[in-house]
Structure 1
């Protein structure tokens, strides 16, 4: 099986695009949605490009943290952030928010693995497996399952 470097999943939500955006664009709320994130520390108040936060994650008994920086924050349209570990790029995560009419919104969550090429990428991949228990070659499938759970939680929480 060839390694996947990009994964995305979408869901239709019976809510206004601004309401959906507000739910996903506040890093403090990620623990409500994600099956891996259990806490978030945010450095700053306004969710704008450049905002930094730390995500505390777990799978089973394994715990780790990631340093994140918001790269896109367009109300009602898009929210994204880059993840790094030990100063090296790990991933880009984001959400696209699209009004599909009738008071509904399509929410797409996406992930891109940035651990490509070079010794640094190999080092971060080894650390990733050590801390998460997930080999880099299987990270996409784990993220796909996590995205489905996340999107379902957001759909239920926002449209609820």
Structure 2
């Protein structure tokens, strides 16, 4: 009920952090979330800040907005958020950044909450969804790499 992808980028952790923590730019990178905006008075990446992501699952079908709340925010190291309603978290997404010589190792990850209905979902569709998420994370990181290495 989780997965991750790591990619090396020729950029300092601070440069990568600026990119992954700016949710308003996710539409440039993600194959599913084509826009996001800070909401409920939030204006930037701090723990507890909220934003909405506009999603088109697998790049097809209807679109919908998801409420997200920043759950971990350590500049240059970690940016994580949960997805769900005010009192219900469905899944968590995030980025870990580690120095690697003159660059960074960047890991995008997800994990579903251990709720019964999500366990059943994962049992039935987990292999397919896991591969889709992995492809999406790889695409997102490759697109970010292009931007951050261009400078």
Q: TM-score, normalised by structure 2?
A: 0.86
Aligned to 2:21: 25
Deviates more, 1:78-87 or 1:60-69: 78-87
> Over the residues paired in the alignment, what is the CA RMSD in angstroms?
2.0
Q: 1:106 to 1:78 in 2, by over 3 A?
A: same
Aligned to 2:138: 148
Deviates more, 1:19-28 or 1:85-94: 85-94
**Structure 1 alignment gaps of length 5 or more:** 126-134
Cα shift at 1:122: 7.7
Q: Separation in 2 of the partners of 1:63 and 1:45?
A: 24
Is structure 2 residue 81 aligned with structure 1 residue 81? yes
For 1:152, what is the secondary structure of its paired residue? helix
For 1:11, what is the secondary structure of its paired residue? strand
Q: Separation in 2 of the partners of 1:65 and 1:115?
A: 23
Pairing of 1:11-160 with structure 2 (within 5 A): 11-43=7-39, 44-58=42-56, 59-85=59-85, 87-101=87-101, 103-114=102-113, 116-117=115-116, 121=118, 135=125, 138-160=128-150
Q: Separation in 1 of the partners of 2:126 and 2:105?
A: 29
